[in-house]
Structure 1
C-alpha cells in the first residue's frame, strides 16, 4: 500500500474506532478530504484487503435518504494500518507548524 497523506488520514480516522463501521460522509468530515479523494483511497484499501464495505439494509423511502455504504477495517487492516502509521510517524519531519500542526506532530 502506497502511503500518502490522504491514505494516512483515512487510516487514522478508521483507527480512532477500529471496530466501528463508518460511511463516506462521516469519513469526509473526519478527514477533511473531498469525495474525489476519499473514495479512491477507500477502494484501494478494500482492494488491499484492509477494508470491507457493505451496503446498509434500509428502505431509502422510509429513511428519507439513500442507503449508506459502511466501511470497516479488517483484522489484517487494523494491524497493517497501525504499523504503516507508526512507520510514517517515525519518518515524519518534526516541523509541525510548517505542516499546519503543532511542533513535533505530523500534519495528518
Structure 2
C-alpha cells in the first residue's frame, strides 16, 4: 500500500523519530541528492544543547554503497521528500512549509 502525506519540516522530523525503525528503507531527496538506504539506526542526540535526529543508512546505490550518518536537522531546510518503506507499506512524505 502506498500513501502520500504532506508535512512541515519539523513534523517530518517527528515522523522519522517516531516511525522509522532499523531494517526499514529510507529514501532521502534533498537539494540535488537522492540517498536511498537501509536504516541501521535512528538516534536522538544532543548537539550544542539542541536535540538532533541522526539516521544511519547503508546506502543502496550502484556506485556508492557506504554507511553514512545523516543529521536530519542539518539538511531539514533542503529536504524535498522522504520515502519510508516497510514490509507493510510505503509512505511518501512531501516536505512543505
TM-score bucket (shorter structure): under 0.3
TM-score after normalising by structure 1: 0.26
Q: Which has the higher strand share?
A: 2
Higher relative contact order (CA 8 A, sep 6+): 2
